[in-house]
Chains A and B, each alone.
Chain A
Amino acid sequence: MPDSLIVLDKVNKWFGGLHALRDINLSVKAGEVVVVAGPSGSGKSTMCRTINRLETIDNGTIFVNGEPLPAEGRELAKLRSEVAMVFQQFNLFSHLNILDNVALGPMKVRRQPKAEAHQQARDLLVRVGIGDQAEKYPAQLSGGQQQRAAIARALAMRPKAILFDEPTSALDPEMVNEVLEVMTQLARDGMTMLVVTHEMGFARRVAHRVVFMDTGQIVEEAPPEAFFTNPQTERARDFLGKILK
């Protein structure tokens, strides 16, 4: 798998007696957009979080850019800065304004000069459509604006890939689209993305591949068209039947 940016090789994880991830094999190529779908509790968020080691794994190996995932220290911090993450709850730093939220990583991790980091942050905020919100604090923004700021924060690290952990699940319905539009644009620009989501419309339009998980396993993996029109497994058919009314 020479051109694979992210590889999970026979990854297993247990939460106590619960086998949360079962022999997960997955690879994501550079520039690829992979959507992970599945019922809640299927392990899709957990899998997403193992890739930058916010969750540890019990056995198997995760490779990023051909190297095994570092277990600790500066190497791990460096890897995390290259594989950015967008969270369900946005998790913007509540004591910093939006501009500083976006500029913090470049300044403290990449040692960029303040002026340069701030200019880049402003450009990114414009790119995600909230250029006029730079001086506000997270609590002053709507959910959709906060999530777009969080995407700008992720982009500021110039990551090789971005992990999205249910990025629209905590949003009011009218704000889902503004976030999905930003994500769609990112995909068009060639960003490598692993997206855990229930937004099947987004999966259909943007994903190169859909990975369907259930009870900690990858049950099915297919291009979106094939997955939505002709799911191969009973579990996928059942899931799609429930989610696509």
Chain B
Amino acid sequence: MTGADSHLFDAPGPRAVRRTIIGSGVAAVFAVALIVYVLMELSAKGQLSAAKWSPFLKYDLIKFLLHGLAYTAGAAVVSLGLALVLGIALGVGRLTRTAIIRMPCVAIVELGRGLPVLLSMLFLFLAFPLAFHIDLPAFWTVVLALVLYNGAVIAEIVRAGVLTLPKGQREAAFAIGLTGTQTMRLVLLPQALRIMLPSLISQLVVLIKDSALGFIVGYQELTAQAQSAALLFNNPLQTYVVVGVVYILVNSVLSEASTYLGERQKRTLSQKVVTAGDAVTIESR
């Protein structure tokens, strides 16, 4: 036991080691048995046949699904950009002393966080044409719903980030004569955003997964494309497995990136401590 685990548990003694080995062995046997059983049943029902899986080697199907992936990425990136803008505005708005600015921000954040993304999508889909006499394009239906929810979440991340900063940063900014707005823009937000970067990337993962709901309003993202393809080739199970793997791959790359950024921040910090140590040595000479 090394690394993070060792902070949580005692190093195991001989009896614990024996128990762990026996327990893991039993669990492994059960897991393998379950997998074998499921595969045998699927095979018996023809689900593992070449006919069901071979379409994924066809260029046309790959292109069709990649189109979906591109739409998913498009909606996710645009949503994240706009959600960031909305989130910073709402987060800062919630931190102001002026009630007339703060209260609407609180209201929008609570609305955005509380409403399921699916419901906001349906609401936009149904209400927008009635109100404005034109259809809202599927892309914007998806993006606006995602922006509302993720903007609210990011607002809370921004607020927490600013509140985490030491009180002295604000006081020092005031003490050199910066106004409240300048203090937020030049001193507090840049530091808060740096702290928040890993959380923001994690939020992108949530956003990508939620974009799958776009199929309900006819947006041709990955899940919607999978649904159509599955009808064509009569292999829904196989298609969803493939698409699921694609989602997992994309999101695990993003999670890794977020972990890496978090680690790098920690590393830079410790490097700085080392450098500070050097500085101390030089200083005391």
Q: Is the CB of B276 within 8 A of A95?
A: no
CA distance A78 to B177 in the complex (A): 6
Q: Which residues 265-285 of B have a CB within 8 angstroms of A?
A: 269, 272-273, 275-276, 279-280, 283-284
CB contacts under 8 Å to A, within B167-187, are: 168-169, 171-179, 182, 186-187
**B194 interface residue, CB < 8 Å from A?**
yes
In whole Å, how far is B131's beta carbon from the nearest beta carbon of chain A? Answer: 41
A242 within 8 A of B: no
Which of A34-42, A137-145, A194-202 is near enough to bind chain B?
A: A137-145
Selected from B169, B182, B190, B276, the residue in CB contact (under 8 A) with A91 is B169
Shortest CB distance A74–B (Å): 7
A95-B190, A108-B186 are known contacts. Are A174 and B178 too (CB-CB below 8 A)? no
Q: Which of B166, B172, B275 has the most CB of A within 10 A?
A: B172
A140 to B272, Cβ gap below 8 A?
yes
Q: Are A91 and B178 in contact (CB under 8 A)?
A: no
Tell me whether A183 is interfacial, beta carbon within 8 Å: no
A54 touches B279 (CB 8 A): no
The answer to the question of B47 belonging to the interface, with a C-beta cut-off of 8 Å to chain A, is no
- A94 surroundings in chain B (CB, below 8 A): 169, 191
CB <8 Å contact, B172 and A87: yes
Q: Does more than half of chain B's interface fall in helix, strand or loop, or is it mixed?
A: helix
Evaluate whether A109 and B273 lie within 8 angstroms (CB atoms) in the complex, with A93-B169, A95-B194 already known.
Answer: no
Most buried by A among B173, B175, B276, B284: B175
List B contacts of A25 (CB < 8 A).
none
Contact partner of A157 (CB less than 8 A), chosen from B172, B177, B284, is B177
B174 touches A109 (CB 8 A): no
Q: Which residues on the B side are within 8 Å of A174 (C-beta)? A: 283-284
Q: Are A80 and B174 in contact (CB under 8 A)?
A: yes
Instruction: Give the A-B contact count at a CB cut-off of 8 A.
Output: 92
Docked pose: A144 CA to B276 CA in angstroms: 11
| Smallest CB separation, A150 vs chain B (Å) | 8
Asked whether, in the complex, the Cβ of B176 is within 8 Å of the Cβ of A84, the reply is yes
Contact yes or no, B172 A145, CB < 8 A: no
Indicate whether A85 reaches chain B with its CB closer than 8 angstroms.
Answer: yes
Q: Tell whether, in the assembled complex, residue B175 and residue A85 are in contact, meaning their CB atoms are under 8 Å apart.
A: yes
By a CB distance below 8 angstroms, the chain A residues around B172 are 85, 87, 91-93, 150, 153
Q: Mark B194-222, 1 if CB is under 8 A from A, else 0.
A: 10000000000000000000000000000
Is A91 a contact of B171 with CB atoms below 8 Å?
yes
Asked if B283 contacts A175 (CB within 8 A), the reply is yes
Pairwise interchain contact B169-A142, C-beta atoms closer than 8 A = no
Interface residues of B in 109-156 (CB under 8 A from A): none
A104 contacts chain B at the CB level, 8 A cutoff = yes
A97 at the interface (CB under 8 A from B): no
Nearest B-chain residue to A175, judged by Cβ: B283
Given A91-B171, A93-B172, A77 and B179 touching (CB < 8 A)?
yes
Set A89, A105, A150, A175: member contacting B178, Cβ < 8 A: A105
Residues from chain A with a CB closer than 8 A to the CB of B272 are 137, 139-140
> Across the interface, do A141 and B276 meet the contact criterion of CB distance under 8 Å?
yes
Contacts of B280 in A (CB 8 A): 142, 172
Give the CA-CA distance A8 to B56 in the complex, in Å: 82
> Quick one: given A141-B279, A144-B283, A174-B284, are A81 and B176 in contact (CB under 8 Å)?
yes
- CB of A52 within 8 A of chain B? yes
The chain A residue sitting closest to B180, CB to CB, is A77
Closest Cβ of chain A to B161, distance in Å, is: 12
Inter-subunit contact B283/A91 (CB<8 Å): no
B167, chain A: closest CB distance, angstroms: 9
Q: Measured between alpha carbons, how far is A156 from B176 in the docked complex, in Å?
A: 9
Interface residues, chain A, with chain B CB atoms under 8 Å away:
52, 54, 74, 77-82, 84-85, 87, 89-95, 104-105, 108-109, 136-137, 139-142, 144-145, 150, 153-154, 156-157, 172, 174-175, 178
For this complex, 6 residue pairs linking A to B, each with C-beta atoms less than 8 Å apart, are A95-B190, A105-B176, A105-B177, A145-B283, A150-B172, A174-B283
